[in-house]
């Protein structure tokens, strides 16, 4: 059984990826389980660069295939901000309701057709032998006029998903997983990993 490190401190993400990879002969462990404590500086200029930087730096310490992810929200009217800075937008410690307010103010009187936005997720994998993999996916939506819903996290409460007629934070975990950028990117990564591990 191949052990794969997921460069995250988030146990929820480990559970999620292990569920997705359940039918493969691999076990995904957290950095902590792999005995690695290391803070990667996310100074890349794209989701791919940030995700790959984490994967490569942790792979170089653990010497095992390492997965990592980076994601964010692109609001078209705000020139794709907050984008790669989503987690740090207005400061890492700023409560999300405060961020929502700032976004609603920037989009005041902006009509629906100009409120387009997307969640982007990028998953990167780094192999000790120099192979790297990148998968991307997005979910398209619009920035709503209020924060709604109790599920999810981050910007989910202000992100309206037209195909569901609901805000992202109103979706059940199952509904979200089926359409979400992270879920889709992880399933793409699974197919790529399968191919590479066959060799």
Nearer to a copy of itself, 40 or 179 (CB): 40
Nearer to a copy of itself, 37 or 45 (CB): 45
Report, in Å, the least distance between residue 188 CB and a copy of itself: 8
* Residues 26-48 as b or e (16 or more Cβ within 10 Å = b): bebbbbeebebeeebeeebeebb
Q: Whats the size of the chain, residue-wise? A: 199
Nearer to a copy of itself, 54 or 176 (CB): 54
Report, in Å, the least distance between residue 44 CB and a copy of itself: 8
Report, in Å, the least distance between residue 130 CB and a copy of itself: 4
Binding residue per annotation — 25?
A: no
| Whether residue 70 lies in the annotated active site | yes
Binding residue per annotation — 182?
A: yes
Nearer to a copy of itself, 75 or 124 (CB): 124
User: Of 51, 37, 139, 58, which is closest to residue 87 (Cα–Cα)?
Assistant: 51
State the Cα–Cα distance between residues 170 and 147, nearest whole angstrom. 10
Report, in Å, the least distance between residue 148 CB and a copy of itself: 34
Contacts of 120 (CB under 8 A, 6+ apart): 47, 71, 72, 73, 74, 83, 136, 137, 138, 181
User: Of 64, 68, 70, which is closest to residue 197 (Cα–Cα)?
Assistant: 64
Binding residue per annotation — 33?
A: no
Binding residue per annotation — 167?
A: no
For a copy of itself, the binding residues (CB under 8 A) are: 43-45, 48-49, 52-53, 56, 129-136, 188, 192, 195, 199
Binding residue per annotation — 70?
A: yes
- Annotated active-site residue in 33, 69, 70, 129: 70
Complete DSSP assignment for 27-85 = EEEETTTTT---PPP---SSHHHHHHHHHHHHHHHH-S-EEEEEEEEEEGGGTTEEGGG
Q: Which residue ranges make up the annotated binding site for Mg(2+)? A: 70
Q: Which residues are identified as catalytic?
A: 70
Q: Which residue ranges make up the annotated binding site for substrate? A: 8-13, 71, 153-156, 176, 181-182
Q: Which residue ranges make up the annotated binding site? A: 8-13, 70-71, 153-156, 176, 181-182
């Amino acid at each position: 059984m191949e052990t794969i490190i997921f460069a995250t401190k988030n146990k929820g993400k480990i559970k999620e990826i292990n569920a997705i990879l359940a039918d493969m002969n691999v076990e995904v462990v957290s950095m902590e389980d792999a005995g690695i404590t290391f803070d990667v500086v996310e100074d890349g200029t794209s989701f791919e660069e940030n995700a790959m930087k984490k994967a490569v730096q942790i792979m170089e310490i653990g010497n095992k295939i390492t997965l990592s992810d980076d994601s964010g929200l692109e609001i078209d009217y705000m020139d794709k901000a907050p984008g790669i800075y989503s987690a740090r937008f207005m400061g890492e410690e700023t409560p999300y309701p405060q961020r929502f307010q700032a976004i609603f103010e920037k989009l005041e009187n902006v009509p629906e057709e100009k409120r387009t936005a997307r969640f982007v997720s990028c998953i990167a994998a780094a192999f000790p032998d120099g192979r790297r993999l990148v998968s991307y996916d997005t979910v398209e939506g619009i920035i709503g006029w209020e924060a709604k819903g109790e599920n999810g996290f981050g910007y989910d409460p202000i992100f309206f998903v037209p195909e569901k007629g609901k805000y992202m934070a109103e979706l059940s975990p199952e509904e979200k997983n089926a359409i979400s950028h992270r879920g889709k990117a992880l399933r793409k990564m699974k197919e790529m990993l399968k191919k590479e591990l066959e060799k």
